Amino acid sequence: MGGSSKRCVLFGIINSRYMLITSYLIIHAVHVLPVCIAQSSDEQALLAFKAAISGDPNGVLAAWSPTNGKVNATDNICRWSGVSCRSQRHPGRVTALELMSYNLTGVISPSLSNLSFLHTLNLSSNYLSGSIPLEFSLLRRLQVISLGGNSLTGEIPTSLTNCARLTHLELQRNGLRGEIPANLSSCRELRVFNVSVNTLSGGIPPSFGSLLKLEFFGLHRNNLTGSIPPSLGNLSSLLAFDASENFNLGGNIPEVLGRLAKLDFLRLAFAGLRGKIPVSLFNISSLRILDLGNNDLSGVLPPDIGVTLPRIQVLLVYSCRLEGHIPASIGNATRLRRLQLHSNSLQGIVPPDVGRLKDLEKLNLQFNQLEEKWDKDWDLMVALGNCSRLFALSLSSNKFQGVLPPSFVNLTIGIQQIFMNANRISGTISPDIGKFSGLRVLALADNALAGTIPDTIAGLHDMIGLDVSGNNISGEIPPMLVANLTQLAFLDLSENNLQGSIPESFGAMRNIAILDLSYNRFSGTIPKQVVSLSSLTLFLNLSHNIFSGSIPSEVGRLISLGVLDLSNNRLSGEIPHALSQLQAMEYLFLQGNQLVGRIPQSLSSLKGLQCLDMSQNNLSGPVPDFLSTLQYLHYLNLSYNHFDGPVPTRGVFNDSRKFFVAGNRVCGGVSELQLPKCSGSDNTGNKLHKSRTVLIVSITVGSFLALVLITCIFVMYARKRVNQQLLQRNDTSPVPKLMEQHCKLSYAELHRATDGFSAANLIGVGSFGSVYRGTLGNEGQEVAIKVLNLLQHGAEQSFLAECEALRSIRHRNLVKVITACSTMDHSGNDFKALVYEFMPNRDLDKWLHPSIGKGESSSRMLTFAERVGIALDVAESLDYLHHHGHAPIVHCDLKQSNVLLDNDMVAHVGDFGLSRFVQGANSNSSQHMSTTVGIKGTIGYIPPEYGMGGEISVEGDVYSYGILLLEMFTSKRPTDPLFQGGQSIHSYVAAAYPERVMEATDPTLVQHEEDNMDEGSLEECMLSVFRVALRCTEESPRARMLTRDAIRELTAVRDACDD
């Protein structure tokens, strides 16, 4: 081959390879260039989203930074936190943005609408505010919108109908308002629609009946009205429908809902529904949970209910108007765990077929007209013995009668609560009761039981409540009963025929809060062990017995007792000065004894006393003037003693309807008494005339006084019987031992402890600074370090105020300061910080609103017992600040984020940056100071008088505490969008109190406690809690409850309602 030919061939080869490489480069450029451009567009959208986020405490967006056009793996936006690119056809395009539970604050940028391949947007459980961007309608590929658990406001955009592929629209737990857009029914792929816990109004759109793929329909806790559209009967794929707590929804339950053959969960409780319960509901064989409670519904339970609901696990039809019988077929519903039919008009016997419910855990049939007349009817007890998981049995307030059969002890040994009060049961309490080793509450009050108290009850070591009052039980109290039941919090043996002396072993009952032994025939002296039980916080009643001797001086150890009744015995001697130590006392009854001497002046310390009866004794001396200074005293009976001299005219003595002094040798007083005038030299003349005059006056006002006394007694017993179910809050874990001495720390040590105050250790940002988590020294002690932002106006004053307050206080429920640091940082700038003990469970806000929390606080909710315990801890800290220091301290900024929780869920109040000392604590104006010093506080918690330039005071703290208490049990912030146009969290609860108190209660709390308490018990407990909260948030400072009173009442709630 010639050279020319060779060159041609070589040129051809080179040219072919050149063309091949060129073609490859062109093809590669064609593919890469759009990816770069598209990725750049997605990047700009994400960076714009980041720019709209004002708070990122976890630094999840820290790595989101411009890639400057790079497309290598290291810089690809698909590697950013929360970003996914899962499309194979369109590599590098963002298909999902998932940033759940990161505590992000700010607004949602409309720029996200530029993520044109986005199919999943999940920003749930953050603190995002603002409205839902209208531009989301441009995301035609969008399938999932999950924005639940934020603070979004505004309306649901109607333009979301353009998202034709939408399968999930989750907007629950926000502040959305307006109506549910009817045109969303055009999103035919929708499977989940959840707008629960918002403030939506209007009706349920009938057009939603066309969403044939809808599986979950959540409308719970809104303000919806109208009725349930019959068109929803077309939702053939529906698995769950929750329209509960739309209190004005109203209307009937459509019969066509019975066509929902796949329905698993149906909850319509507290929805204002009326009419008859459609029989068709009981034919939905797929139902697992059915809750129709607290509606104006009527009807009967179908005879074949157990056959037509074979999968039912929870059946709640309480507080309705059910009639008829409980069908025997209920025994066929073998998966049933909870059966609550209480507060209806059911009649007849309880079919023994319930014994076939092997998984039954809770049976509540109280407040009906059920009966067991004959021995064969009591086969129920034999049958229930087959329910091996039963832990709560409530049959109170029915018509059960006859002898309690031996089969009663056939109940499962694991049963924890038995309530059979207010029936007609006779016979004796079987000694075999001791086999129920796990029994915690036994309530058999107001029956006709006889015999003695079995010794075997002493073996029930877990028992916390025993009530057999109102029976015919005789004999003595077994000494081992009180010696062994050391967990007992409630013991009521009143209104029986018990006799003998009180065992000294009562001293072992270190948890007893209520003790009632009244109306028996106990004799001997009152053991000092009984009146030494400092755990007695609510009620001690030993009245109407035959006790003799003097009142033991050890009674002064009952420092938290609210009610003491020793009346109608044979007690003698003088009234002990030790009673003055019972500064929580509200009701004191000593009448009908043989007490002598004068009323001790020291009783003037009982500032909270409301009712005092010392009548029918042998007391003498002048009527004490200090009684007129007890501002809460509204009933006073000193009649039939040997008092003489003038009757005061101030205070309680200013109203003749509130006190009684008949049968004494007294003079003066208000004119209505028509007593003789007092002479300077002779106050004892014409005794017969005085006695007659007083007697006439006594007859005139006697009826009124009797009414007042009955009111006092009613209040006492209402408190005593807050619930027959007495539960005790257990705090067994010890609080970790804290450092006892202040230590000196330098800036360098704090810098080292926090890794240079890194963002990873930032745990909170406040008005005047930031809080970091740190580890000190070689010991590895975890601390919280509050670094002041000295550029912020007021930060310096806040630091000084907090140092001054913390320098002089020490209490188990206040956050302990380890040291303060005031120096210069490495740049020579002023540096100020406070170092506290670290609270691993963070602040209360993270727990009250768990859907927007993170970590442990988002994994579970606070139980009722924990909430009451925390409320008590906070109240104890306030009581200490206000009344137990060298000068009262007003916190001025009590709110949920300033309540911190340690490892044992014990609450500690912190952040004293706005606190103020109040000087002159003994004067009438001692508890106040001017607000001109610039009190700020937090919107929603500031008492109304501060906003009008009123004085700061301990009552202002009580108001903030009341708001916090309302928030704790409603799970609504005081700034909730619901509270507009003059509405407030106080008026919200007040409007529901007392008849509709459960409407205001946090529904998640109600649902959680359904396994621990029956509905009636929880309602009674919530009544007590909200009563305290409403009294604390009265508009007038003087009308607000004292902290010690709040402590006493909440302690009673804890002891009565804790599981």
Active site residue 359: no
Please tell me what DSSP assigns to residue 1019: H
Choosing from 353, 516, 893, 1002, which is the catalytic residue?
Answer: 893
Could you give the C-alpha distances from 633 to 108, 588, 1038, in angstroms and in order? 58, 11, 15
Q: Is the Cα dihedral 858, 940, 50, 793 positive or negative? A: negative
Return the pLDDT at 914.
Answer: 55
Could you give the C-alpha distances from 770 to 2, 766, 789, in angstroms and in order? 87, 6, 8
Return the pLDDT at 25.
Answer: 42
Return the pLDDT at 569.
Answer: 96
Closest CA to 861 of 851, 870, 869, 873: 851
Is 786 marked within a binding site? yes
Return the pLDDT at 853.
Answer: 36
Return the pLDDT at 708.
Answer: 41
Q: Which residues of the chain have pLDDT under 50?
A: 3-11, 13-14, 18, 20-37, 73-74, 681-743, 851-859, 919-935
Return the pLDDT at 979.
Answer: 81
Domains of the chain: residue spans and CATH:
1-127 (3.80.10), 301-309+320-426 (3.80.10.10), 519-725 (3.80.10.10), 747-1057 (1.10.510.10)
Partners of residue 362 on adjacent β-strands: 338, 392
Report whether 694 contacts 661 (CB < 8 A). Answer: yes
Identify residue 252 by its one-letter amino acid code. Answer: N
**CA dist., res. 978 & res. 200, Å (int):** 10
> 894's torsion region: left (phi>0), alpha (psi -120 to 50) or beta?
beta
**CA dist., res. 832 & res. 791, Å (int):** 12
Q: From the CA atom positions of the chain, what is the Rg in Å?
A: 35
**DSSP states along 46-61:** HHHHHHTEEE-TT-TT
Report whether 1033 contacts 959 (CB < 8 A). Answer: yes
Work out the end-to-end distance of the chain between its first and last CA atoms, rounded to an integer number of angstroms.
104
**DSSP states along 59-108:** -TTTT----TT--STTT-GGGSTTEE---SSSTT---EEE--SS--EEE-
Q: Angle at which helices 954-970 and 1043-1057 pack, to 10 degrees?
A: 20
Q: In 782-922, which residue ranges form alpha helices assigned H by DSSP? A: 795-807, 844-848, 856-859, 864-883
Q: Residue 884 in 3-state DSSP?
A: coil
Please tell me what DSSP assigns to residue 194: E
Structure tokens at 806: 């913390």
Q: Residue 407 in 3-state DSSP?
A: helix
Structure tokens at 946: 């501060």
Return the pLDDT at 612.
Answer: 96
Structure tokens at 55: 């708070």
Return the pLDDT at 39.
Answer: 57
